[in-house]
């Protein structure tokens, strides 16, 4: 039986990943920044509090950086070094599609840190989550019946967080793909008008897409409590979306899991209550 430490275990990916590993008979330590409950360990990735104790005795770790922070290399670098010191054998790091485009970007520096650590490793770089529509973008859908984003008519190969979790679970439990990074996407590339049409049909009401300027989005992000630096980071990567960098589709999910990723309509049907 293998012991896995899952960072971000209460999130969309981490919760599904933890459940899958437990169903496979493994021991899972669910990391939380809040006071730990049953089956959880307290970890503060920003300060490093609890990281060593959580890694002690773990065979492998699933790594991601907490949202709201742009110094991912500092945050994850400390965890990677501690994992090496504690005898962890493997790490799977979730970054983001496009993170490898700039070797000086904090997330790419975190990836390179892991690659040089001596641990067995994989990096997964998912595209934009489908679950953003029932979480981060839901306010506009609920109150204005509109997806309000500064993305023009560009397409994105959105991926379901549950597919990311299945990929991570597979990579954590196998060694034949060690030392590789994978861009993860859904099975299709859609623009936000097409997304809105699917949501409208599934929800039984009209939901439209409204292309807005970054300056229109910025106040809402700040009002939601996002730090200024992270707000600007989000606006930058949304601009990359608008430029078309999120449109391509890969076969990585199918190659790793043996099945095709979920299509957007299937996601919308599963989360219908959020949109209806």
State the pLDDT at residue 34.
86
Residues 6+ apart with CB under 8 A from 194: none
Task: Name the token pair of 135.
Answer: 């979480």
**Phi then psi for 47, rounded to 5 degrees?**
-95, -20
**What's the length of the chain?**
276
Find tokens 């990391």 and name the residue.
Answer: 31
Helices marked H in 173-227: 192-203, 214-223
Our measurement of the distance from residue 161's CA atom to the centroid of its chain's CA atoms, rounded to an integer in Å, reads 7
What would the mean pLDDT of 47-70 be, rounded to a whole number? 95
Work out the end-to-end distance of the chain between its first and last CA atoms, rounded to an integer number of angstroms.
Answer: 43
Task: State how far the Cα of 248 lies from the Cα of 214, in Å rounded to an integer.
Answer: 23
State the pLDDT at residue 143.
96
Task: State how far the Cα of 164 lies from the Cα of 269, in Å rounded to an integer.
Answer: 19
CB 248 within 8 A of CB 189: yes
State the pLDDT at residue 254.
98
Taking CA 56 as the corner, what is the angle to CA 17 and CA 96, rounded to the nearest 5 degrees? Answer: 40
Find tokens 């859908």 and name the residue.
Answer: 141
Residue 52 DSSP symbol: H
Which one, of 64, 42, 20, 56, lies nearest residue 167 by Cα?
Answer: 20
Angstrom distances, CA of residue 147 to CA of 130, 140, 212: 13, 6, 10
- Per-residue pLDDT tens digits for 210-267: 999 999 999 999 998 999 999 999 999 999 999 999 999 999 999 999 999 999 999 9
Q: Hey, what domains does the chain have and what are their CATH numbers? A: 3-128+160-185+248-261 (3.40.50.720)
Task: Name the token pair of 183.
Answer: 């861009």
Q: What is the mean pLDDT of the chain?
A: 96
- Per-residue pLDDT tens digits for 111-133: 999 999 999 999 999 999 999 99
- Per-residue pLDDT tens digits for 171-181: 999 999 999 99
Our measurement of the distance from residue 2's CA atom to the centroid of its chain's CA atoms, rounded to an integer in Å, reads 24
């Amino acid at each position: 039986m293998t012991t896995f430490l899952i960072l971000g275990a209460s999130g969309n990916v981490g919760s599904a990943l933890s459940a899958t590993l437990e169903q496979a008979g493994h021991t899972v330590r669910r990391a939380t920044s809040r006071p730990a409950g049953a089956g959880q360990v307290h970890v503060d990735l920003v300060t490093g509090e609890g990281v060593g104790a959580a890694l002690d005795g773990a065979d492998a770790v699933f790594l991601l950086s907490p949202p709201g922070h742009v110094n991912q290399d500092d945050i994850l670098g400390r965890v990677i070094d501690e994992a090496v010191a504690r005898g962890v054998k493997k790490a799977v790091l979730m970054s983001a599609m496009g993170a490898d485009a700039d070797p000086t970007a904090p997330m790419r520096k975190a990836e390179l840190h892991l690659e040089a650590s001596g641990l067995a490793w994989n990096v997964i770089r998912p595209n934009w989550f489908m679950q953003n529509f029932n979480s981060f973008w839901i306010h506009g859908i609920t109150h204005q019946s509109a997806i309000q984003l500064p993305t023009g008519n560009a397409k994105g190969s959105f991926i379901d967080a549950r597919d990311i979790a299945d990929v991570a679970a597979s990579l954590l439990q196998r060694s034949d793909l060690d030392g590789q990074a994978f861009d993860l996407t859904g099975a299709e590339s859609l623009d936000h008008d097409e997304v809105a049409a699917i949501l409208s049909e599934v929800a039984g009401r009209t939901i439209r897409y409204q292309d807005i300027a970054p300056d229109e989005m910025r106040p809402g992000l700040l009002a939601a409590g996002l730090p200024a630096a992270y707000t600007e980071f989000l606006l930058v990567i949304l601009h990359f979306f608008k430029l078309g960098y999120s449109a391509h589709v890969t076969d990585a999910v199918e190659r790793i899991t043996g099945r095709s990723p979920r299509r957007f309509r299937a996601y919308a049907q599963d989360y219908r209550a959020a949109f209806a």
